[in-house]
Amino acid sequence: MSTSGRSGAAATPAARRARATRWAIGVGAALVTAIGLVLMFLLAQATNNRALYERYYVRLFGINVVVAVLLVLVIGWVAFRLLRRLRQGKFGSRLLIKLAAIFALVAVVPGALVYVVSYQFVARSIESWFDVKVEGALDAGLNLGRATLDSLSDDLAAKTRSASAQLAQVPDTSAGLVLERIRDQLEATDVILWTGSGQLVASAGSSRFQLSPERPTPQQFRQVRPERAVAHVEGLDETAPPGATPPVASVRALAMVQRPGFDFDTAPRYLQVTRPLPPAVVANALAVQEANREYQERALAREGLRRMYIGTLTLSLFLAVFGAVLLAVLFGNQLARPLLVLADGVRQVAAGDLRPTAVLQGKDELGGLTRSFAVMTQQLADARGAVEKTVGELDAARANLQTILDNLTSGVIVLDAKGTVLSTNPGATRVLRAPLAAYEGRALVEVPGLAEFGAKVQQQFEDFLVERVQHGLDHWQHAFELHASGTDLPQQDGAINIVARGAELPGAARLLVFDDISEIVSAQRAQAWGEVARRLAHEIKNPLTPIQLSAERLEMKLSGKVQPPEQAVLVKSVKTIVDQVDAMKRLVNEFRDYARLPAADLKPVDLNALLADVLQLYSAENLPITLRSELDERCPPIRGDAQQIRQVIHNLLQNAQDAAEAAASGTGRAGEVVVRTRLGDSGQRVRLTVQDSGPGFAENILKRAFEPYVTTKTKGTGLGLAVVKKIADEHGARIELSNRVVDGAVAGAQVSLSFALASGPRAAAAHTEDSKSSAA
Amino acid sequence: MAWLPAPAAAQARPGASITQMRLEQADDGIYFSAAVQFELPSLVEEVLDKGIAIYFVAEAELYQERWYWTDRKVAQVTRHMRLAYQPLTRRWRLNVSAAPMTGAAGLGISLNQNFDTLTDALDAIKRVGRLRLADVSEVGDDPLHQVTFRFRLDTSQLPRPFQIGVVGQADWNIATERTARLAMEKQK
């Protein structure tokens, strides 16, 4: 399997070393166990074979003890390692300990049982060998033998003594015959007559053929008294090997020969009689003695024997138990390893790590299990990879969609069936001017200012759901007006016109898409007004010239032909007509201008030069106000139509002047108008600002000042700022209208326009130089 | 007197001591004699009474001194003694041999003596007489010869289970050793 190969190749040196260590431990332990078993076998064998056993017992015992100690050390080391692993919380050590403990228990309990039984058996059986009765019987046998020998000896001694009387009257020279007779009488093998100093006087029997027969010891001579004979058992030796013919034992008696009044000056004579013992008696007596000796020997040694057997047993138990425990640990390790690998793998997988797991090569079920597990893990990893890929694609798609939604100018809200906001996009917040994102999870009607809208939307959805069944519609569309204050002017106070479209999403969610169409409405309205103005101007302008001409002709014809009072009325009336027609013409022209603004012809224009040109017309002597200009000489040319910009400047200055004048006449202070140009900080735009010291704009005017026919002036058409706005829009210039606030009080109005440069920023620098030089 | 006073530390055990050491030169060789004094513990006597034989070993070593090296062992002689009680005849038997007497074969070539009492037998054991150490030619002319004499109860020849029972028991530990520089005595 490829995974196993990979994992094998990826094995770290530490893992290899650990494996080598494990091998070494295993081999060493097996070796020690084998040695121990062999030694134990030898020890047991030796117990059977007494001689071998006795010779080598101590040495064998010593070697076995050494092996046992080695085993103990190995087991101690293994146990220490296991405990350390357990303490470190290493994975699987608990299982390993459990397995080892079970195996050890399985090995130890029967071993201990056998040991206890054997111990009892050995102790009892050794004790049972030694019995008081047996000992008594042996003792009795020994005594019997001894008594038999004693009686034989006494008998011979007595006979010898009585026989010695026959020699009392016999001279030494003729003693031989008597001795022969005595030999016959006593059935002795040998009869010898000694002097007190141990010299042979006469002899009969086998000793006759010996040159120097064995002489009694001086001690024996001393023991013999006149009235008492002494008998000894000779040749009763234990030296004969068992099974061989028993030695020829005999009783040797010694008696003093009393010779009263016969030969006073000579030393006493001693008669020695030797008679063989019955071989059966000798053999049995020796057998009893030997048995007794051995019995006593073993009885005395039984403690040692017991100790020896029990020592062997104990050592066998130790070796067996230690070996078993060691093997238990090793086998437990072996058995637990696949389980550990599996468990480790499971843990890894649970932790989300789907790398290939280790695979064991064993042919048994556990090895197969690890292989299956590896395959499973691989499949999991593949599946997860596929899922991750899909999720990634989904994420990308969603991010795409989100980006689209976020950058959509239209507002999008997803609602549930009860009208709760599920999600919104920034466009919705912008369009509705309400913090919709903060109200996600709450009902749309709860959003401040949107209660009515929410209710209406809900109503629309419900209607749509009903109608959908009937008409098969897939969406509804409706225009709403928000923030309407209820006045007659629909455009008042920042009312928002939106067009909303609803559709149903899967899962009973509702999609609400809406757009701010206020500007479109405004533009439509402006366009409509322009059309009206153009037509009105056209229709009005046509009769104006005939009216004027007719009036002037009337004056010319009638002048001097009527009475002075009438003349005065005529002149005044005609003047009024002409003036009013002029005013009307101007009004119409303005209308026409507004409606018919030609498309701007955008070219580089030097704004400063243009301003200087226009400002000449507003010379100081013509005005009741002061006009101040602050021109920024760095200003590069801007993109614009000089003619239209001129108009813008005129309109703005006129407005400012009117406002300042009105304020000045009201308060008596001199009005002031400031015209200012400035290059923007970014160097991208040029800002034109016109300030006045007038009363400023009212709040409601400020919002709608750029719409036509909105004016604060009694004589104004309300088209001035509308034209400015239109031109600014044509130029792509930003226009801002605000009140100047000084110390919390309105100090005047301010209109500022920022124009785009004629070229990029780089060209702008060169133009700046130009404008400087031209200004100089 | 031939023996020299030995330092007290040379005696291995207060229970046993070597009271006399003597080196003699005869025509056919160098002979060593010694006298040992010890008391047989009652435990050992009991064992003897039950007919079990015990063994004694007497060992003499003759060294030639070498100033440049460790002393050279010139000669060594060992005498094994086996003491046993015979309940049938109520006599004590002492076997003496130059080789360890294990089994009947060892006893066959030994010299044996019978004693009526244990005291007699022990007296015979305590007198270690005429151990032939070496030929005359093997020994140099030095006035003094270093001789090491050891005497001990040999538990290693006891029956083996018996050994396991008695090993380490103080009663069975009869051993003494002495090293002395002895003058050679010419035998008349």
SS3 A767: helix
CATH architecture of the region A603-775: 2-Layer Sandwich (3.30)
Chain B CA closest to residue A236: B89
d(CA B185, CA A378): 102
Q: Is the full-model pTM beyond 0.90?
A: no
What tens digit of pLDDT does each residue of A254-305 get?
888 876 655 555 667 788 888 888 888 888 888 888 888 888 877 777 777 7
- pLDDT for the residue A91: 72
Q: ipTM, 2 decimals?
A: 0.72
d(CA A233, CA A220): 13
SS3 A66: helix
pLDDT, chain A, mean: 78
d(CA A56, CA A308): 12
Chain B CA closest to residue A146: B88
Residue, of A595 and B22, whose pLDDT is higher: B22
Query: In the numeric block, which tokens belong to residue B9?
Result: 């530390």
pLDDT, chain B, mean: 78
Cβ atoms of residues B180 and B21 within 8 Å: yes
Cβ atoms of residues A600 and A660 within 8 Å: no
Assess whether pLDDT exceeds 50 at residue A363: yes
Assess whether pLDDT exceeds 80 at residue A526: no
Chain A CA closest to residue B162: A301
Query: In the numeric block, which tokens belong to residue A296?
Result: 């006593």
SS3 B159: coil
**Which residues sit opposite A195 in a β-bridge?**
A269
- B166 contacts in A (CB within 8 Å)? 304
- pLDDT for the residue A312: 76
Pick from A55, A219, A293: which is nearest to B52 by CB?
A: A293
- Mean pLDDT of the A543-559 span: 85
Q: Where are the alpha helices (DSSP H) in A49-92?
A: 50-87
Beta carbons within 10 angstroms of residue A22's beta carbon: 14
Query: Which of A238, A284, A290 to mutate against chain B (most B CBs within 10 Å)?
Result: A238
d(CA A370, CA A339): 8
Query: Which of B82, B120, B164 to mutate against chain A (most A CBs within 10 Å)?
Result: B164
How close B88 gets to chain A, by Cα (Å)? 5
Contacts of B63 (CB under 8 A, 6+ apart): B71, B72, B73, B74, B145, B146, B147, B148
How close A44 gets to chain B, by Cα (Å)? 15
Cβ atoms of residues A436 and A428 within 8 Å: yes
Chain B CA closest to residue A237: B86
Cβ A239–B104 below 8 Å, yes or no? yes
Q: Which helix (H) or strand (E) holds B92?
A: strand B91-97
What tens digit of pLDDT does each residue of A221-230 get?
777 776 677 8
- Mean pLDDT of the A148-177 span: 82
Q: Which of A552-561, A669-678, B76-85 has the highest mean pLDDT?
A: B76-85
Chain B CA closest to residue A51: B160
For the ranges A153-157, A227-231, A412-416, A594-598, the lowest mean pLDDT is seen at A594-598
Strands B111-115 and B127-134 turn out to be: unpaired
Pick from A236, A293, A305: which is nearest to B51 by CB?
A: A293
- Mean pLDDT of the A144-173 span: 83
Q: Does A296 touch chain B (CB under 8 A)?
A: yes
Cβ atoms of residues A358 and A15 within 8 Å: no
Q: Does A775 touch chain B (CB under 8 A)?
A: no
Pick from A219, A239, A285: which is nearest to B88 by CB?
A: A285
pLDDT class for B143, splitting at 50, 70, 90?
Answer: confident
Residues 134-153 of A with CB under 8 A from B: 142, 145-146, 149
Query: Which of B85, B89, B167 to mutate against chain A (most A CBs within 10 Å)?
Result: B89
pLDDT class for B164, splitting at 50, 70, 90?
Answer: low
For the ranges A13-17, A299-303, A352-356, the lowest mean pLDDT is seen at A13-17
What tens digit of pLDDT does each residue of A697-744 get?
777 777 777 777 677 776 666 777 888 888 888 888 888 888 888 777
- pLDDT for the residue A401: 87
SS3 A242: coil
Cβ A297–B52 below 8 Å, yes or no? yes
Assess whether pLDDT exceeds 80 at residue B123: yes
- pLDDT for the residue A389: 94
Was domain A408-516 assigned CATH 1.20.1640.10?
no
For the ranges A268-277, A370-379, A657-666, A754-763, the lowest mean pLDDT is seen at A754-763
Q: Is A16 left (phi over 0), alpha (psi -120 to 50) or beta?
A: alpha
d(CA A59, CA A43): 10
d(CA A247, CA B152): 33
Residue ranges of domains in chain B: 22-126+134-186
Instruction: Check residue A442 and report its DSSP letter.
Output: S
Strands A638-640 and B91-97 turn out to be: unpaired
CATH architecture of the region A153-277: 2-Layer Sandwich (3.30)
SS3 B77: strand
d(CA B81, CA B153): 9
Give chain B's contact residues with A (Cβ, < 8 Å).
Answer: 47, 50-52, 84, 86-90, 93, 104, 107-108, 112, 116, 159-166
Cβ B160–A55 below 8 Å, yes or no? yes
How close A240 gets to chain B, by Cα (Å)? 7
Cβ B87–A146 below 8 Å, yes or no? yes
What tens digit of pLDDT does each residue of B56-107 get?
899 888 888 777 887 788 888 888 888 888 888 888 888 888 877 765 555 5
Cβ atoms of residues A77 and A329 within 8 Å: no
Token look-up 């085993």 returns A71
pLDDT class for A169, splitting at 50, 70, 90?
Answer: confident
Chain B CA closest to residue A305: B161
Assess whether pLDDT exceeds 60 at residue A6: no
- A305 contacts in B (CB within 8 Å)? 161, 164-165
d(CA A681, CA A632): 12
Pick from B87, B116, B163: which is nearest to A289 by CB?
A: B87
Cβ B161–A304 below 8 Å, yes or no? yes
Query: In the numeric block, which tokens belong to residue A315?
Result: 């050592």
Cβ A296–B51 below 8 Å, yes or no? yes
Cα-Cα-Cα-Cα torsion B140, B145, B146, B151, nearest 10 degrees, comes to 110
d(CA A28, CA A716): 115
Amino acid occupying residue A739: N
- pLDDT for the residue A88: 84
Chain A CA closest to residue B90: A146
Pick from A233, A285, A303: which is nearest to B165 by CB?
A: A303
**Which residues sit opposite A547 in a β-bridge?**
none
Q: Which helix (H) or strand (E) holds A422?
A: strand A421-424
Residues 36-95 of A with CB under 8 A from B: 53-55, 57
What tens digit of pLDDT does each residue of A373-421 get?
888 888 888 998 999 999 999 999 989 988 888 888 888 888 888 888 8
Query: In the numeric block, which tokens belong to residue A776?
Result: 């100089």
- pLDDT for the residue A9: 42
How close A289 gets to chain B, by Cα (Å)? 7
Query: Which of B160, B167, B172 to mutate against chain A (most A CBs within 10 Å)?
Result: B160
Chain B CA closest to residue A282: B88
Pick from B52, B87, B116: which is nearest to A142 by CB?
A: B87
Residues 220-259 of A with CB under 8 A from B: 232-233, 236-241
